[in-house]
Structure 1
Amino acid sequence: MSQQSSGQAPPTHLKVILSAQYFMFFGIMGIALPYFNLYCYHMKLSGFEIGIIGSSRSLLIILFSLIWGILADRYQNRRFLYILCQFIGACLCTLYLIADTFISILCVTLIVSVFYAPLISFIEAFTMDLIGDNKHTYGMIRLWGSILFIVMVLVVGELLNHFSYFIIIQMIVFGYFIQAFVAITIPSSQKKKNRKTKPSLNVLKRTNVVVYLISSFLMLVSHGTYYAFSSIHLELLGANSNEIAIYWALGSIAEIFVMFNSRRIFQRFQIESVLIFSFAIAAIRWLLMFYASEVWLVILIQILHAFTYGTFHMAGILYIDRCMPESTKTLGQAVNNAVSYGLGLMTGSFINGYLFETVGSHYSFIFSFVVAVFAGVLLWSVVERGVKP
């Protein structure tokens, strides 16, 4: 059984503030993730062009999440940078309202991504710091993001029955500004030491950390078809906007279930065991997606998102937090986010953009299956050798 500290629970008002950050971040994602690529598709962009936009965005997230993370740890000014990125990003996001070609949408995506890049790693670092020894409460705080994700997926799905796809962009812009004002409520969490603290990168060279990051990268590569082309895949199978909304909402409902039970999960199982289990379920999920040709079956398979995202994400955040010394907490989460949701999704989007155009979305899931199996075996081999932080 894993060992968890049992310190005093964080105050209610603090949990509300932290939950609000996830609430807004994933609420906007509930619009962008299922529908932005669908918007691009209806703007007559090709699968390859959509893949370029997704991979280019991920490339900047990789680079700038690291840059912002290093600055936050070096100058101990995470809160200032967090709020700054929120407001500048929101203002730049308004340019989507006039972008109507591949080049213009790509350019806006690139400049917005510079300031969007560090947001989730900052939020994760704030949360890990502020909840102290009560790491098992992370899931209960994080699940509020999934709740608004579900609501926005369903709302936008219904709105698309009555309005044009341009409403997707309007709602994303509006959401960014609300998120920026919510960011002001976050308290400072970094412990004041010297004016400048040079974060050490040596911890990132440890075998267990390197293997985890490679496996995490591959996990998100395997999700490339899912994140970039699921909505389009469903539409090609004959799904309507309500069915697409149900598909995405069901995934978040499933992940809420495991987040709600995060305390029980991590008190009973080692973090490494949860990670390996998540890889196994991912492989099964992508294989089932390859064979599924009915809309209802594809929607049902979405329940497995509870494990390929829910348990995997929680275990990954806790694992990196456990590995990182105090002076590199922000950088650690930034590297984790950059390697997985940055580099992993960039690679996955690019490869699957090509596969979508050449062999179709069904066979793209075979590629995802192979990648997930390899990643899981890689991590398992290191855990079996007893390599730990």
Structure 2
Amino acid sequence: MPAQALSFALFLFCYYAHAGTWSTYATLFFADKGMTVAQIGVLMSMIQVLRIVGPNVWGYVADHYDRRVLVLRLAGFAALVGFSGFFIGSTFGHFMLAMVILNLFTSGQAPICEALMLSEMKGDLTYYGRIRMWGSIGFIVSVTLASIALEHYGIVTLPWVAVALLVATILAAFRLRDVPRRTHKTPPPPLLSLLRRREVIAFFASTALMVSAHTSLYTFYSLYLERNGYSKTVIGAMWSLGVLAEVLLFYFQAPLFRRWGAQRMMYLTLAVGVLRFLMIGLGSHILWLLVLAQLMHAATFALHHSSSVMSLQRWFSGPLQARGQALYMSISYGIGGSLGGLFLAQWWERAGAESVYYVASVLVVFSALAAMLSFRWQQRDRY
């Protein structure tokens, strides 16, 4: 078990408690403030858009100056300043500026923390899932408790809940300490040369398409449920159910990867993803079908995330650790997530809410094709 396992777990708990609570209910907050579906789509896409810039900037700074924990702390304080914008004014412009500043600084925190974890684990990912699951537990606890508060006191309390969780994340960062990086006998390959390799391009295309499909959840799922007559308590419970399944997968994943490997697990998660989004689109008024689809989050998020991180280690390790994690976040969640969110927002307006999930299913099909190409090219390049 890594020496800082408890500190990593605490930071991830607080970070995902804040990120999960805000992303789950922000659509309802913006709708309450009079924003249209198109405006909400743009505002929520900032979570993904800023992941294009934030993780790479902070990943470079953290790697270049070897002060990853300091970067985590400073980013937390800057995000807190940005979040204050949600208490000032109620126009689209105010909200846009606040979302840009908040996500510019929070977007780099998770990949830096994961880079610290991977450095301390020294290539042994046995305990990765059991530490990473605490981020999911933080999500469950916070989203569930927040749903009760919002049901009783109204959506106007959301910024107060989210800012308290942001302060907790900053405090948790003060428990972390930097991890000395291993020295390598040979210099790492140039970053651009790695990014030109066809198997790396196909890998990032696959993860970006998978995340694009998931923006149908991250951006619209709460609004989708509310407009189909479900209460905030049910919405919170549905999110918590999905993340509970994710936690269990993270806890028990090590034997699965030892036996089957990252490639087979990746194919499994993509197959489940196609089915899951079809079920959500078909089951808007069938609660048991929506429940079953939420349980599949264990595969479409947790299993996909771990498979991606393990695949990433083939190309990005040692001095490129933080930037590799940052590239994964910025390309997959940043480019893939932002384009997916904006595209699906327009699709919702033109074709209706249910059709968004049918399109998401098609995106996963393309993700699977890109993954197959990546693994095939990796095998060819070995010989």
Structure 2 letter corresponding to 1:76: D
Q: Which residue of structure 1 aligns with residue 304 of structure 2?
A: 312
CA distance in 1, matches of 2:212, 2:22: 19
User: Which consecutive residues of structure 1, in runs of 5 or more, have no partner in the other structure?
Assistant: 1-8
- Report if aligned partners of 1:90, 1:180 keep a CA contact under 8 Å in 2: no
Q: Which residue of the other structure, out of 126, 133, 140, is the alignment partner of 1:136?
A: 126
Q: Which residue of structure 1 aligns with residue 315 of structure 2?
A: 323
CA distance in 1, matches of 2:273, 2:108: 26
CA distance in 1, matches of 2:102, 2:127: 32
Q: Which residue of the other structure, out of 230, 241, 251, is the alignment partner of 1:239?
A: 230
Task: Name which of structure 1's ranges 55-64 and 198-207 shifts more when overlaid on structure 2.
Answer: 198-207
Confirm whether residue 213 of structure 1 aligns to residue 179 of structure 2: no
- Report if aligned partners of 2:213, 2:363 keep a CA contact under 8 Å in 1: yes
- Report if aligned partners of 2:199, 2:373 keep a CA contact under 8 Å in 1: no
Q: Which residue of structure 2 aligns with residue 272 of structure 1?
A: 263
What whole-Å deviation, never above 9, does each CA across 1:74-93 have from its counterpart, x for those lacking one? Answer: 22222221111112212321
Structure 1 letter corresponding to 2:324: G
Q: Which residue of structure 2 aligns with residue 10 of structure 1?
A: 2
What whole-Å deviation, never above 9, does each CA across 1:139-161 have from its counterpart, x for those lacking one? Answer: 00011111121111111111122
Q: Which residue of the other structure, out of 331, 345, 348, is the alignment partner of 2:337?
A: 345
Q: Which residue of structure 2 aligns with residue 383 of structure 1?
A: 375
Q: Which residue of structure 2 aligns with residue 173 of structure 1?
A: 163
CA distance in 1, matches of 2:297, 2:89: 33
Confirm whether residue 92 of structure 1 aligns to residue 82 of structure 2: yes
Task: State the secondary structure of the residue aligned to 2:230.
Answer: coil
1:322 positional shift:
3.2
CA distance in 2, matches of 1:383, 1:192: 28
- Report if aligned partners of 1:251, 1:303 keep a CA contact under 8 Å in 2: yes
1:147-226 to structure 2, matched below 5 A, reads 147-191=137-181, 200-201=190-191, 202-226=193-217
CA distance in 1, matches of 2:136, 2:125: 19
1:208 positional shift:
2.1
Q: Which residue of the other structure, out of 255, 274, 277, is the alignment partner of 1:283?
A: 274
Q: Which residue of structure 1 aligns with residue 113 of structure 2?
A: 123
Task: Name which of structure 1's ranges 291-300 and 263-272 shifts more when overlaid on structure 2.
Answer: 291-300
Confirm whether residue 114 of structure 1 aligns to residue 104 of structure 2: yes
Shift in CA distance, 382/95, structure 1 to aligned 2, threshold 3 Å: closer
Shift in CA distance, 347/250, structure 1 to aligned 2, threshold 3 Å: same
Shift in CA distance, 291/350, structure 1 to aligned 2, threshold 3 Å: same
User: Which consecutive residues of structure 2, in runs of 5 or more, have no partner in the other structure?
Assistant: none
CA distance in 1, matches of 2:29, 2:296: 26
Task: State the secondary structure of the residue aligned to 2:361.
Answer: helix
Task: State the secondary structure of the residue aligned to 1:187.
Answer: coil
Q: Which residue of the other structure, out of 87, 93, 111, is the alignment partner of 1:103?
A: 93
Structure 1 segments of 4 or more deviating over 3 A?
none
1:276 positional shift:
1.7
- Report if aligned partners of 2:203, 2:374 keep a CA contact under 8 Å in 1: no
- Report if aligned partners of 1:321, 1:333 keep a CA contact under 8 Å in 2: no
RMSD after superposition: 1.9
- Report if aligned partners of 1:289, 1:301 keep a CA contact under 8 Å in 2: yes
How high is the TM-score relative to the length of structure 2? 0.94
Q: Which residue of the other structure, out of 341, 366, 370, is the alignment partner of 1:374?
A: 366
- Report if aligned partners of 1:246, 1:299 keep a CA contact under 8 Å in 2: no
1:214 positional shift:
0.6
CA distance in 1, matches of 2:30, 2:245: 28
How high is the TM-score relative to the length of structure 1? 0.92
What whole-Å deviation, never above 9, does each CA across 1:211-270 have from its counterpart, x for those lacking one? Answer: 111100000111121111101111111101111011100001110111011211111121
CA distance in 2, matches of 1:43, 1:319: 42
Percent of pairs with identical residues: 24
- Report if aligned partners of 1:85, 1:115 keep a CA contact under 8 Å in 2: yes
